[in-house]
Amino acid sequence: MVLMVELRRTKRVYAMKVIKKALVTDDEDIDWVQTEKHVFETASNHPFLVGLHSCFQTPSRLFFVIEFVRGGDLMFHMQRQRRLPEEHARFYAAEISLALHFLHSHGIIYRDLKLDNVLLDHEGHIKLTDYGMCKEGVRPGDTTSTFCGTPNYIAPEILRGEEYGFSVDWWALGVLTYEMLAGRSPFDIAQAADNPDQNTEDYLFQLVRGRSAVSVDWWALGVLTYEMLAGRSPFDIAQAADNPDQNTEDYLFQVILEKTIRIPRSLSVKAASVLKGFLNKSAAERLGCGENAFLDILHHPFFKTIDWEMLEQKQVVPPFKPRLESERDLANFPPEFTDEPVHLTPDNDTVIADIDQSEFEGFEYVNPLLMSLEDCAYGSYGAESSSSDYDSVCSELPAKRPTLLQHMFCLPLN
């Protein structure tokens, strides 16, 4: 669960990620939580990564207080624009490249780059978020082998069960850049059928045309009934290719491994070149993975117009600025999430008794770049606050004995 919260003293808005300790059940889960915390700490030092304000815990929950990035994610904006102008895609790909390079230089493989995890701030600059799949402690030349990632973005070397390194992030950037430029995934079933222009609204209408003329309502009922019975549309590209079993994850992986990626003819030569570079199925030959590593990306013709130094200093004006009415404006987030009521369930003593609290020792953290410990001690109440003030705040919060950090936030905001 992620809540929008407010720092009492400054009224500044943050996002608060809440994790139930009862769901952190084994060593792998504990490692995941610690890794996410460590990467959040590291990310606080880069302009294109979501940083950490603080961490605290109650007997039942863990809390990450992180930057609230108001502009929404690229998935949200792509759903409204379908595809981006090349100038926009180049800008976002360049900022993402700098963020990935920073993580790599600190021994971190991101492993979860996708449209949903690329946020836009109020000015239009990107910030990567969600570090739960990150791998820490990776030195140049080191590899790992865990099978993970979002299916559409998983690199071929992962699917082949090979050891892999930073190369998987550059592959994912290729997939994401393709999506921005083409308005679809490079691994859509249409592309697998050797027609990169099929997965369009016009092609869907072409499939529908030629059917017998029927009442539009009965037609719609037929489509809906088909979807309920078959679990997919009667006009899926897979079905149009006379193979109703293609629309599966296994088939997607087969496409990633075996099919040639076809670049839409509408893209520029430079855009096609950078996509072919990132989407090379050989990790060793992939753009960003050769002897010159990141320098090959910096000097690629697609990025020729980018002033990398100015970009990293956020001195380049973004091509798009999200519309925002206030610091709390949620217009750039899907209403099905923002309208959902927030329920922090009461603590269950039986559940808490089964939690090994020693596993979470040292979880508390305050980012020295954003605030000082003196702010923690005095910022919320003032030096003259009494114990009765402290107890009155405690009574407003769901935990029985929250830590001092928890008193600093009003949660949640409506």
Kindly list the catalytic residues.
112
Residue with tokens 């029927």: 214
Residue with tokens 């855009």: 271
Peptide bond into 85 cis (omega under 30): no
**Element of type H or E holding 62:** strand 61-67
Half-sphere exposure of 293 (CA within 13 A, CB side): 10
CB atoms within 10 A of CB 96: 24
Listed in sequence order, the residues at least 6 apart from 52 whose beta carbon sits closer than 8 Å to its beta carbon are 37, 40, 41, 43, 44, 64, 65, 66, 365, 367
What is the per-residue DSSP string for 121-169?
Answer: -TTS-EEE---TT-B----TT--B----S-GGG--HHHHTT--B-THHH
Rounded CA gap, 252 and 254, in Å?
5
Residue type, 165: G
CB atoms within 10 A of CB 373: 9
85-91 long-range contacts (CB < 8 A, ≥24 apart) are: 85/319, 86/181, 86/267, 86/268, 86/271, 87/319, 88/180, 88/319, 88/320, 89/177, 89/180, 89/181, 89/271, 90/302, 90/303, 90/305, 90/306, 91/306, 91/316, 91/318, 91/319
Residue with tokens 């954003």: 370
Rounded CA gap, 72 and 320, in Å?
12
**Element of type H or E holding 61:** strand 61-67
**Element of type H or E holding 228:** helix 216-230
Rounded CA gap, 226 and 208, in Å?
14
